[in-house]
Amino acid sequence: MTRLQFGQQDVEVLEQTTEYDGFFKMVKYRLRHKLFAGGWSGEMDRLLFERGTAVALLPYDPIRDEVVLVEQFRIGAHVAGCAPWQLELVAGMVEEGESAEDVALREAQEEAGLAVSTTEFVTRYLSSSGGCSETLAVLAGQVDSSVAGGLHGLAEEHEDIRVHVVSRAQAYEWVVSGKIENAASIIALQWLQLNYSRLQAQWNGD
């Protein structure tokens, strides 16, 4: 069985310089690290986009077998030539003192007007480890989709969010067809396709 050979102790950060500090942060690291063949690499510079820790929630109604997705404008999608208005999960950034579940519950209310009765951890992943330190925790949450809908978001954050309620089967078809293009939504909906029967049994109290 192949084992990971190296860990945090096998990287030496020699210098750290903040290049930009605004809504996001750009930091230049001068470092070296151990090599698979032995010894150490030469010194190198790596520019890192530091965005923090995010949480995404897939609201799922096990009784109606429906999911709640949100749609909003994304500048990154626009510049990349993708659909500028993306179908996504409810999501937000972790603030000081918050847990992943705290964020999920807060954002479900802010972005979709939803109360979440139960949550389950799905996974945690790095959004783009070659140049970004952001990690994203994905949760699934039990909701009543019959009360979902309308427009939401915080005006002071320039949010303009439309809520969609669709069947689990339809949402998964959007993953298969490529209509849904962002990683957290794809991961969560694929996970749901594998676990919905169990969630229906657990969350319905059967």
Structure-derived torsion over alpha carbons of residues 112, 94, 198, 169, reported in degrees to the nearest 10: 40
Q: Which CA distances in Å does 69 have to 45, 111, 154?
A: 40, 10, 17
- The one catalytic residue in 19, 88, 157, 181 is 157
Strands 11-21 and 53-61: unpaired
Q: Is 157 a catalytic residue?
A: yes
C-alpha closest to that of 128 among 47, 193, 61: 47
Half-sphere exposure (Cβ direction) of 22: Cα atoms closer than 13 Å: 2
Cross-strand pairs, 88: 70
Active-site residue list: 157
